[in-house]
Structures are given as structure tokens and as C-alpha cells.
Chain A
Amino acid sequence: MHEVGFLMQAFVFLAAAVIAVPIAARLGLGSVLGYLCAGAVIGPFALGLIGQDIEEVMHFAEFGVVMMLFLVGLELDPSLLWRMRMPIVGMGGLQVVLTTGAITAIAWQFTYSWQHALIIGMVLSLSSTAIVLQTLNEKGLMKNESGQSAFAVLLFQDIAVIPMLALLPLLAVTEVGTFSDKHLLPGWQSALLVLGVVVGIVVVGRWLSRSVFRIIAQTRLREMFTATALLLVVGIAVLMEQVGLSPALGTFVAGVVLANSEYRHELEAEVEPFKGLLLALFFISVGASIDFALLAAEPLVIMAMVGALVLVKMVILLVLGKVFGLTSRSNAIFTFSLAQGGEFAFVLFSYASAQDVLPQTIIQPLTLVVALSMALTPLLFVINERLVLPRLGVKSQAGSRPLDALEKAEGKAILVGFGRFGQIVGRLLRMNGFEITVLEHDAQQVDLVRSFGHKVYYGDAARMDLLETAGIDEVDLLVLAIDDHARMLKTIHQVKRHHPQIKILARAAGRREAAELIHAGADHIERETFDSALSMGRKALSLMGFRAYQAQRAAQLFKHHDKKSLYALSEVIEDDKKYITVAKQHATDLEKVLRSDDQANTDLDDRGWESGS
């Protein structure tokens, strides 16, 4: 790092990423491949902008993987896991075990060491979560049978990485590895240690960290929350390293423990950008360390290995799909989508190399093979869509569904603000069986409503990243029930820019705010005091001599006119003068309608009932 200087180096990395990733994305290759290519281009085999210090960068960037596993843990929703336990454990488990077995058997023929073969088998059994999920999402297949099956398998693989990381050091071949300088304790002691540390993390995560987060949240200083979140992850990583365990395992457990806490979405939003950047750095350094001389020297061998890897994976996936009863169409998508090596392979290879359990002569070509197999994924998708699916016969979507007796409404929503206003909205939605995610930015209020058994998360809605982690790209509805008008306007602008299809319902203080919210793009607004005031007015009318139904109609007529004028006002909201003119005009119009006794019969008393009686 001394030769180039930190800033220069950062510039090279960032520039490479910024150029390569959009190109890769445009070509449908996904961001992981983009980073790998960027790394390859700036690495010693092409431009040579970065040199020997790449090892150092990679070690630093590996922390991104630790963060990734923290987030994987954080996103593990126990109820989802339970609902999908069959495909996850069945399909996912069998995929990992069978593929590991098959590849281990093949690798054994070449490596003559069962430990090496087993490591290779495990590492190559994984697929690329990043590439597959992104591609399936883009093609709108996530909700289908094929997408759900692929997701289940990927989920199992993500979890399987943890025991693999733990297993790697145990697979050291003593004469090769520097086994002795890892101060390992005897078996029972180290087992006890692992247990103790995990219990410690659970205790800290469950009770201590929540009080800390609450105190930090009350300071309302965002950077303090960021610092605390990072401190938690780094702290656990340091602790795990001290006791000689995998930091990834520790943060994963911490993530799982915090998955149910009210700070889940906030933590995700804070850690996510750091993870993203560090992982990018990690993939770039993997790309830079790929030995392209190998490909040039022995293209046939490498290509054969790529072919064998993809083929073995596809055969196993195809059989699994059949066994688990996927339709041939879903099975084709499932099989083709998961046939590549994954980004976790790089992680495990670099870990294996650090632990000296696998020689570079094996790691180098296999890293290349994994990268190439990932690059093949878009090609496999094309083959599947052009050559395979047409032969299976595309069943028409319409007409295949039976005519249900009941049409079920199934929307998802995010509700922001769980005070007096939001609670009513939220309870009504939940009581009717709708799945909603609730965010509230006041830590004390979160505590209070949680004690009544409401599931509420801490978080500030004006932050787009937080809404993203709360799953805004999957909802149909965003309900803004906070009383901070400026913040609400900002949120509406942001959400409408990124997700124009989402309907936004907003709470307005008064008339002017309501008009502003409509102008900003809210699909529906409700003035917080309007309906109750109207209701009181109606009661007053009836106490002063109106028949109850007459008072009800008068109130409804008032509401109707008022709404019309509100929408008219929202169109001139930016022009103060016009706003006042329009407001006055509508006020006089309404009064005319309500006051004139002669006309009252036609407008108020509903002509239909008057006539002929």
C-alpha cells in the first residue's frame, strides 16, 4: 500500500467497479461477475494496476463476508423457515449432500487425499445466491414453484456455509498445514468453549444489546446507531478470533438472535452499505487474483472442469426436482438456474488458503472454474428459454385455475408510525388477517406497544434504505401515519421515484398539508381530525332538530364538496395567490349550497325522495 497510496488505490478499485458493474448488469451477468471482471482487469494479468498488496486487501475485505453472514442471520425469519422446512431441509439438504458426495468422489481421483477432495466437494456444492436470486427476480419467477424451490436450496446453502467454515480447519492434512500454530485446545474443551461463546452471544444479543440500542436510539443521533451496529459486529468477530473460532459463525448467530428484535430493520439498513462495499472489494480482489495464465496454458483442462461441474450439478438438481414433484417446466428452470459455483466458494477458498488446508495448486484452478461457471449462468438461462422450455410445451396460464368460491385478498403493506393514529390502521389491518410490517421511530413508543404484544420495529421512514430492508419492493401499500409533515413529503417523493407502483396512504394534519401530500403524489390522504369533527357536526345538527338521516346526508354532502375542493387546491398548491383564490371560491360555493333555503331541497334533501310525495 505504501507505493501507490491509499487514495489512489481506493480510486482504482472504485473506478473499476463503477465501470464494470453496470456493464455486467446490462449484459445480464449480475454484479458479482461485474466485480470479478473489474478485478481481473485491474489485476496483474491485465492492466497490473494493483500488485502484491492484493493479499492484504483481500484479508481486509473478508470482513465483508462476516457482515454478510450477520445479515443472512438477521434475515432468517423463523416462521418462513418453518413454513419451508420441507423444501429447505429436503431439497436443500439433499442437494448439498449429494453434490458434495459426487464432487468429492470425482476430486478424489485427482487429489489422492480425501480431506482435499471433501473440501472441494463442499465448496463446489454451493451455488451463487447473488446471481440466481437476482436473475429469478428479474424474470419474475420468484413466486413460482421453480423460484421457491431454488430459494429453498439457496437458503440451505447459506446456512450450510457455517458448519463448513467450522469444519475446514479440522480437515487439515497435518504434513501440509501449519496446524500447530493455531492454538487449538483438546476436543472437549474446545467444544465447551464453542458452547459457552454461543450462549454468551445469545445472552448479549437478546438482553444486553437491546437496552444498549434503546439508549442509543433515544439520542436520535444516527451515526451513533451506525457506530453501535458496527461495534457489535466487529466486537463479536474479535471475540471469536480470540477464542479461535470462525468470526462468521459468531456474527451469524448474533444475526439470528437479533432477527426478532425491534431493531432488526434498522440494523440491516446500517450494516448493509458496509457489507456491500466490503464484499465488492472482496470480489474485486478475488478477480485480481484469478490466474489467467492457467486458462491460457491449459484451456482444455479448465473447460472440461467447468463442464463437469455444471453437468454434475444439473443431473443432481434434475433428479431432486423430479423426486420432489416439480412440473417438468419448473424443474427445467430450477435445474438450469442453480448449476453454477457460488460466491461462497471464494470465501471458503480464501479461508482454506489462510488455514493452509488446501494448496494453492488446487485453489487457483478451481477459483477460475467457479468464476467461469458463474459467467455461464446467463448463457444457461438462454439455452433453457430458447431450447428446453419450448419443447416442454408452455401451458397457458388462463383457464387452468379452478373457479374458487371465494376470492381472497392478499396484499402486503408497510405501516409507518404506530401512535394514536397508526395503531387504529394497523390493528384493523391485522385483525383482518393482513401481513403488515410496522415501523415506529420513537424507541419508547416501540417498547410500550411491544409490551402490549404488537410486533413493531424501530426505524425512521424518511430513510429509503430502511424501507428497502423492511421489504418495500414486495408491498402493495405504504401507510404513512406519522405526524411529521416534512418527513412524510420526503418519503413520498423517494418512494414514488423508486417504486411508482406502490400506493401511498398518508395522514394529514390539516387542509393545506393534505393538499401538499396529494400534490407530492400520495394516492389517498386522510385528515386526522376531519372525520371525527364531521361526526360531531352531524350530531349537533341532529340535536338541533334535524332528523338523524337528514343530518347524516348533510354531513356526507359537506364531505363530498370539501374533498372536491381539496383536490382543486392541490393543483395550485405551489402558487400562494391562486391557492387563496381557489380556497375562497370553494368556501363560498359550499356555503351557497348549504345555506340557500330554496335550493336546499334540490341539493340537500335528495330530489329523488322529494318528488311525487
Chain B
Amino acid sequence: MASALIVYAHPAHQRSRANRVLLDRISDLHNVTVHDLYETYPDFFIDVEAEQALLLEHDLIVIQHPVYWYNMPALLREWQDLVLEYGYAYGRQQQKLAGKGMWVVMTAGAPEHTYCETGVNERPLSDYFLHYPRMANVCHLDMKPTFEIYHGRHTEDATLEEAAEQYRSRLLSYLKELSNHA
């Protein structure tokens, strides 16, 4: 059975309605590990060895975070710098994560229609995260279509539940896919 590691970064998890609903929905899956970065490293001192070992144990790496200033939260950025280092994640013949799946899950505060050429945010959300496909490419990860939730705090309960259901089924289908591969 393939396993997933959710690298989750939210500096104010207690305020995030969307992320709590998502994580609640998959909490019963025993082959899914939720790795809460802000809970593990409140002082930003990341244990690089432990992180690298953890990644090696899983088949699908889920990167889940809210969007701040068109970007990821600071600790996740730090994690990326330190953990996905040369000689481990990339470098000649040194892509230890090669072949694993990668799935980005993002929650944005603004409504979806603002993320287009005519909207106040001028571009689709994926345009601001072009580094993710690059990262997948450099580390030889198989990147799945990004999962986006908009307007998190103001969505109705039912809509959010629906999104959570979709999140769960996509996660399960990627895991199944990876199991068949192996």
C-alpha cells in the first residue's frame, strides 16, 4: 500500500476553517501522515535529517498550505531551502526522491474570480506558483494537478464539505495509482 506525507504549513491553523475540514476528512487514513510543520518547529529550527528520512518513507508528498502574498508561508519556504538540498533532492544522479508523487493543495482567501486577467489579482493562482512545476522537474517528482480552494472563510458548510470529499477521493486515487505502479 502506498503512503502519503502531508507536509502541512499553516501559521494559524486554529483560524483556518478550510484546512481543518480537509484534514479532518482524511484523519482516519492510516497510510496518510499529516506532518504539521508549524506545530513541529515553532522556533523555525528544522531537523533536516529527520525531514529527509521522513520523505523517503512515503510515496506521495502532499504540500498543503494557505496562500499569503501570492506565496507560501515562511516556514514552508525555509523547509524547502533546507530539506530539498543538493545531494539529496537534486544533483547529478542524486535525486533520492525521484519517482515519488507530488501534489500541491492550496487555500486562498479571495474568491476564484479575482484570479484572472480581469480580476483584481490579475492572473490565475497557478501563475504565482510556477516554481512548483520546476521543483517537481528538478527533483524528478511526478506532479499531480494542483487542488485549490478559494474564499475559504466565507464558503458555506455544504460547499466546503463537498470540497473535502473531493480532496479525500483525489488523495485516495493518487495513492491507488502509486500502489499499482510499485
Contacts and interface: CB of A to CB of B under 8 A. Distances in A.
B45 interface: yes
Nearest to A552: B45
A535 to B, nearest CB: 12
Contacts of B82: 606-609
A560 B20 contact: no
B45 A560 contact: yes
A242 B83 CA distance: 81
B55 to A, nearest CB: 14
Contacts of A608: 48, 81-85
B47 interface: yes
A407 interface: yes
Interface string A553-565: 1001101100000
Contact of B14 (A409, A556, A557): A409
A559 B45 CA distance: 10
A138 interface: no
A404 B153 CA distance: 10
A553 B153 CA distance: 36
A609 B87 CA distance: 13
A403 interface: yes
Contact of B86 (A409, A560, A612): A612
Contacts of A47: none
A313 B152 CA distance: 51
Interface in B29-81: 43, 45, 47-48, 81
Contacts of B87: 607
Contacts of B5: none
Nearest to A557: B45
A387 interface: no
A611 interface: yes
A351 B86 CA distance: 86
A611 B157 contact: no
Contacts of A606: 48, 82
Contacts of B45: 553, 556-557, 559-560
A409 B17 CA distance: 15
A611 B14 contact: no
A560 B83 CA distance: 17
Contacts of B20: 403, 407
Q: Is the interface of A mostly helix, strand, loop or mixed?
A: loop
Contacts of A556: 43, 45
A80 interface: no
A409 B13 CA distance: 12
A404 B43 CA distance: 28
Given A560-B47, A608-B81, A403 B14 contact: no
Given A409-B14, A560-B45, A608-B81, A403 B157 contact: yes
A453 interface: no
Contact of A405 (B15, B43, B84): B15
A186 interface: no
B86 A405 contact: no
A407 B16 CA distance: 8
B160 interface: yes
A545 interface: no
A405 B157 contact: no
Contacts of B85: 607-608, 611
B17 A402 contact: no
A404 B17 contact: yes
Contacts of A609: 81-82
Interface in B62-119: 81-87
Nearest to A405: B17
B155 to A, nearest CB: 9
A559 B153 CA distance: 39
Nearest to B45: A556
A361 B176 CA distance: 79
A402 B48 CA distance: 39
A607 B86 contact: yes
A221 interface: no
A557 B47 CA distance: 9
A406 interface: yes
Interface in A394-410: 402-409
B85 to A, nearest CB: 5
B21 interface: yes
A339 B83 CA distance: 64
Interface in A408-466: 408-409
B15 A406 contact: yes
B15 A611 contact: no
Nearest to B17: A405
Contacts of B161: 403
5 contacts: A407-B13, A407-B20, A609-B82, A611-B85, A612-B86
Closest 4 CB pairs of A and B: A608-B82, A556-B45, A608-B81, A611-B86
Interface of B: 13-15, 17, 20-21, 43, 45, 47-48, 81-87, 153, 157, 160-161
Given A405-B15, A560-B45, 8 more contacts: A402-B157, A403-B157, A406-B15, A407-B20, A409-B14, A608-B81, A608-B82, A608-B85
